[in-house]
Amino acid sequence: MPGFTQQYKDLSPSRRLLLGPGPSLVHPRVLRAMSTPLIGHLDPEFLVIMDEIQELLRWLFQTDNSFTIAVSGTGSAAMETAIVNLIEPGDRVIVGMNGIFGARIAQMVTRCGGTVVEIQADWGTPIPLDQIAHQLQAAGPIKAVAIVHAETSTGVWQPLDNLGALCHGHEALLIVDTVTSLGGLPVKVDEWDIDACYSATQKCLSCPPGLAPLTLSDRALHVIQNRNTPCQSWYLDCTLVADYWTKGKRTYHHTAPISMAYALREALRLIHEEGLDARFARHQRNSQALRAGLEALGFTLVPAPGHSLLTLTCVALPEWLDDKTIRSRLLHEFHIEVGGGLGPLAGKVWRIGLMGESSTFDSVVTLLAALEHLSSQANPSVQPGKAVSAALQKYNTWPR
Amino acid sequence: MPGFTQQYKDLSPSRRLLLGPGPSLVHPRVLRAMSTPLIGHLDPEFLVIMDEIQELLRWLFQTDNSFTIAVSGTGSAAMETAIVNLIEPGDRVIVGMNGIFGARIAQMVTRCGGTVVEIQADWGTPIPLDQIAHQLQAAGPIKAVAIVHAETSTGVWQPLDNLGALCHGHEALLIVDTVTSLGGLPVKVDEWDIDACYSATQKCLSCPPGLAPLTLSDRALHVIQNRNTPCQSWYLDCTLVADYWTKGKRTYHHTAPISMAYALREALRLIHEEGLDARFARHQRNSQALRAGLEALGFTLVPAPGHSLLTLTCVALPEWLDDKTIRSRLLHEFHIEVGGGLGPLAGKVWRIGLMGESSTFDSVVTLLAALEHLSSQANPSVQPGKAVSAALQKYNTWPR
């Protein structure tokens, strides 16, 4: 037995303004919901909570899909759920690869024995839909097309126009990653004809990480029910999971994360109270104010024009700004978290999230004021006040 | 978009005395920890919390294993993590099957392409270790032996004497499921030579479900590092997960369930304050008091003599007691949850958990008093007071 002398102190993390790629700030009502004493995961009252979560998730995903649940894991668990249930050995899958998360999907497809047909695009640019169309024609039978709606590693907002119809015209399923869009940008599962759509709780839903929304179309369910091989995961097997989530069945599969379900229900209830249109408008307005301020400081948007996410702003750093030093000072002196770059963008960009509860004008002004202060020390030509003024002007002139 | 008219009310679940197979009651300090505002999953302060969780889990598992973490999912996710990382297609695995959870392990082995060598035992009896020894000799090269220490479906406490040495003498790994024992019964990973040992948070740790402790020996890690095929799961791949949990690396893999980590740290801190010996003694004493009371009412222990768990008591119902009616009345009239039987035991047994915070004399007396009341209505020969008295006597004469 290892000896240890350390005493474990009261939990007392520092205050943080969470403006990274997730987690975002969590509303006090959601925090309070988690402190509710537990009931059993098969308690009739818990089953009602699950029904409500399903109903609210359908509203949020804008779908009638009966299979609409929260996977018992974080966003990557929902990604893996979609892939391991839909893909079998030998299946060919077109994957849009222009960032970390497309690459992650491709890895999962490979680990299922599937073959990845890559559609590459530069980091910062969207996947050209015409190349998907071309590969659907050229690459032989395709089981599915998988694409990231909001690429968390680059801040790219991927257009999905008519992609569902295009896929279905070739008997392919459409899988869409909405981890950084659901709850902050419109995600219209039925209108866009998406077959598998997943997200995470700790981004635009402003709920702590630990659950991951997933919805599957009836077409996707039909594919799952007619697999030739069993799903390689027992934990994520949708046929088993469905038996627990389906009204009237409620067969024990695994123990649901009860406190997280409390939190998700409350987070969804808050979104429902705000309304989707008001919520999307809020994300847009604060995002535009932030951009104006960042551009005034010399930051430049990484995504191609017209493709910047409104939930997560990915900006290239001015030459005079040292990534690690300034991010560390933001964290330690101002209690502000922003995200650094991943992969080839490490050290070169920041990823600034204004998601859910973090999407407020307070967040924008606080971050810009802190940045102005630190920037003017690093570069005397930075005029204090300029960035905040630019943001303020954009915010105040925003059409109501 | 589906229409819905229902209004979503404040979260207000009924009070519950949780005496089922999990979740168990959660200490107010753990509930409060979850309501702590979030910090980022790569925040330097969060990495310290992870270090502390690892240190406390090593203490609890009684191991020096460097790989000792909490999997981002519930107990079955940790089971799947152990299996998918250690087992490759073609591997032969001896699985002890005397309940639901042994059968679950076998399913996971099969889904990895492994071959299961079943050691069957009747539900309620432990796996005969001599049959494992025989199969290790007879069944050709065996990659691993997997066995359940505390079978949640039958209440059987499995002896593990010398099993580690036996396995290693045949170059086999030992995988042990301690979902319903860790924190309530001794689990000595190093002394018992276990290579992969996993648990869940919502049983004897009295932490909400959502994380699952897992420890791997260096021998297990060596096997993982020398696999011929990639791990079929990306989300549960221990080589990737280790890079996030290892001091000095801390490479992003997936977003950790931050609030659950807060809860687990606090639950482990409470266990540390109580001390393992005191905690095990408490579980033993309350369990013996419960048994005395149940036997006075005509319940009989399901497990073979000497093999009843002290954390979860599985009892056959007296003939005159109707499972569903009385369980429902316990829940709705007395706010008490006990577990029903699974599989072939459905309708015939109850599974009564006295785990973690639920293991108190209050729990025992409250349950027995309610049961006496309901039983005397169903069967006039039941003498009210007898069960509580029997429990009280056992409790008070228990050696300190």
Nearest residue of chain B to residue A153 (CA atoms): B252
Residue A5 pLDDT more than 90?
no
For residue A195, give the nearest of A212, A211, A173 by alpha carbon.
A173
Q: Give the pLDDT confidence of B78-120 residue by residue, as tens digits.
A: 999 999 999 999 999 999 999 999 999 999 999 999 999 999 9
Q: Is the pLDDT of residue A41 over 90?
A: yes
Q: Which residues does A81 contact at the CB level (< 8 Å), separation at least 6?
A: A71, A198, A212, A214, A233, A236, A238, A241
Query: Testing the interface with B: which of A255, A337, A355 to mutate, by most B Cβ within 10 A?
Result: A255
Q: Give the pLDDT score at B4.
A: 54
In the chain, the amino acid numbered B277 is D
pLDDT surpasses 90 at A1 = no
* Percent of chain B with pLDDT strictly greater than 90: 94
Best probe of the B interface among A7, A254, A266, by most B CBs < 10 A, is A254
A8 touches B at CB < 8 Å: yes
Contact A255, B200 (CB under 8 A): yes
Q: Which helix (H) or strand (E) holds B338?
A: strand B336-340
**A307-335 pLDDT per residue, tens:** 999 999 999 999 999 999 999 999 999 99
Distance from CA of A279 to the nearest CA of B (A): 17
Decide if B73 touches A, using CB distance below 8 A: yes
- For the stretch B114-154, pLDDT in tens is 999 999 999 999 999 999 999 999 988 999 999 999 999 99
Is there a contact between B243 and B253 (Cβ–Cβ < 8 Å)?
yes
Spatial distance between the Cα atoms of A143 and A88, rounded to a whole number of angstroms? 9
The answer to whether the CB of B180 falls within 8 A of the CB of B203 is: yes
pLDDT of B3 over the 90 cut: no
pLDDT at residue A121 tops 60:
yes
Q: Indicate whether A2 pLDDT > 50.
A: no
Q: What is the mean pLDDT of residues A105-122?
A: 98
The answer to whether the Cβ–Cβ distance between A39 and B72 falls below 8 Å is: no
Check residue A6 and give its pLDDT. Answer: 60
Q: Do B167 and B139 meet the contact criterion of CB atoms below 8 Å apart?
A: no
**Three-state secondary-structure class, residue B350:** strand
Print the SS3 string covering chain A: CCCCCCCCCCCCCCCCEEECCCCCCCCHHHHHHHCCCCCCCCCHHHHHHHHHHHHHHHHHHCCCCCEEEEECCCHHHHHHHHHHHHCCCCCEEEEEECCHHHHHHHHHHHHCCCEEEEEECCCCCCCCHHHHHHHHHHCCCCCEEEEECEECCCCEECCCCCHHHHHHHCCCEEEEECCCCECCECCCCCCCCCCEEECCCCCCCCCCCCCEEEEECHHHHHHHHCCCCCCCCCCCCHHHHHHHHCCCCCCCCCCCCHHHHHHHHHHHHHHHHHCHHHHHHHHHHHHHHHHHHHHHHCCEECCCCCCECCCEEEEECCCCCCHHHHHHHHHHHHCEEEEECCHHHCCCEEEEECCHHHCCHHHHHHHHHHHHHHHHHHCCCCCCCHHHHHHHHHHHCCCC
Chain A CB contacts of B89 under 8 Å are none
Nearest CB to B4; choose among A55, A190, A253: A55
Tokens, residue B31: 């509930």
Residue B13: band (very low, low, confident or very high) from pLDDT cuts 50, 70, 90: very high
Q: Using alpha carbons only, give the angle B184, B185, B189 rounded to the nearest 5 degrees.
A: 120
Distance CA A151, CA A185 (A): 13
pLDDT tens digit string along A253-293? 999 999 999 999 999 999 999 999 999 999 999 999 999 99
Among A1, A104, A210, the residue with its CB nearest the CB of B59 is: A1
CB-side neighbour CA atoms (13 Å) of B349: 26
* pLDDT tier at A190, thresholds 50, 70, 90: very high
Using 50, 70 and 90 to split pLDDT, how confident is the model at B249?
confident
Contact B234 A104 (CB under 8 A): yes
Residues of B (325-364) whose Cβ lies below 8 Å from A: 331, 337, 342
Of A241-245, B196-200, B363-367, the poorest mean pLDDT is in A241-245
Question: Minimal Cα distance from B105: which residue of A?
Answer: A234
B-chain residue closest to A343, CA distance: B252
Q: Do A235 and B76 touch (CB under 8 A)?
A: yes
Testing the interface with B: which of A1, A192, A239 to mutate, by most B Cβ within 10 A? Answer: A1
CA distance A270 to A258: 19
Asked whether the CA dihedral B116, B122, B124, B130 is positive or negative, the reply is: negative
Q: How many residues comprise chain B?
A: 400
Alpha helices in chain B (DSSP H): 28-34, 44-61, 75-86, 100-111, 129-138, 163-169, 218-225, 238-245, 258-274, 276-297, 323-334, 361-378, 386-396
User: Is B49 an 8 Å CB contact of chain A?
Assistant: yes
Sequence-distant (≥ 6) Cβ neighbours of residue B252 within 8 angstroms? A342, B42, B244
For the stretch A144-188, pLDDT in tens is 999 999 999 999 999 999 999 999 999 999 999 999 999 999 999
Question: Given CB atoms, is B54 within the 8 Å cutoff of chain A?
Answer: no
What are the structural domains, with CATH classification, of chain A?
28-272 (3.40.640.10), 275-396 (3.90.1150.10)
DSSP designation for B288:
H
B59 touches chain A (CB under 8 A): yes
DSSP state of B238: H
The angle subtended at Cα A260 by Cα A257 and Cα A265, nearest 5°, is 120
pLDDT in tens, B43-67: 999 999 999 999 999 999 999 999 9
| Tokens describing residue A355 | 């998601």
Kindly determine whether residue B16 and residue A259, on different chains, have CB atoms separated by under 8 Å. no
pLDDT of residue B38 exceeding 70, the answer is yes
The reported pLDDT for the residue numbered A4 is 54
Binary contact (A210, B11; C-beta < 8 A): no
Determine the pLDDT at residue B7. Answer: 81
pLDDT, tens digit, 9 for 90 and up, residues B353-395: 999 999 999 999 999 999 999 999 999 999 989 999 999 999 9
Taking CA–CA distances from A10, the nearest residue in chain B reads B266
Over residues B332-349, mean pLDDT: 97
Quick: pLDDT tens for B251-272.
899 999 999 999 999 999 999 9
Name the residue facing A260 among B35, B62, B210 (closest C-beta): B210
- Cβ neighbours of B73 in A, within 8 Å: 72-73, 77, 235
Mean pLDDT computed over B22-33 = 98
| A243 touches B: beta carbon within 8 Å | no
Say whether residue A3 is in contact with chain B using an 8 A CB cutoff. no
B-chain residues near A72 (CB < 8 A): 73-74, 77, 210
Window 162-221 of A: residues touching B by CB (8 A cutoff) are: 190, 200, 202, 208-210
Residue B399 in this model has a pLDDT that exceeds 90: no
Assess whether pLDDT exceeds 50 at residue B2: no
Q: In the A/B pair of chains, how many CB contacts fall below 8 A? A: 253
- The stretch B70-74 carries a mean pLDDT of 97
Measure the CA–CA gap between B269 and B59, rounded to whole angstroms: 11
Q: Write the residue in B15, B254, B266 that is nearest to A76 by C-beta.
A: B254
In sequence order, the 6+-apart residues with CB closer than 8 A to the CB of A168 are A174, A193, A219
Find the residue in A nearest to B30 (Cα).
Answer: A35
Using an 8 Å CB-CB cutoff, list chain A residues near B200: 255
- Classify the phi-psi angles of A193: left when phi > 0, otherwise alpha if psi is within -120 to 50, otherwise beta: left
Q: What is the pLDDT of residue B23?
A: 98
A-facing residues of B in 255-284 (CB < 8 A) are 255-260, 262-263, 265-266, 268-269, 272
In the block, which residue shows the tokens 């039983």? B375
Distance CA A37, CA A148 (A): 37
Q: Does B304 touch chain A (CB under 8 A)?
A: no
Judged by CB atoms closer than 8 Å, whether chains meet at B210 and A77 is answered as no
pLDDT band at B6 (very low <50, low <70, confident <90, very high): low
**Contact A37/B55, CB-based, under 8 Å?**
no
Question: Which of A23, A40, A80 is facing B337, going by the closest CB pair?
Answer: A40
CA-CA distance, A375 to A381, in Å (whole number)? 9
In terms of Cα–Cα distance, which of A18, A395, A3 is closest to A204?
A18
List pLDDT tens digits, range B269-278.
999 999 999 9
Q: Give me the pLDDT at residue B333, please.
A: 98
pLDDT at B321 over 70: yes
CA distance A3 to chain B (A): 8
B16 shares contact with chain A (CB less than 8 Å): yes
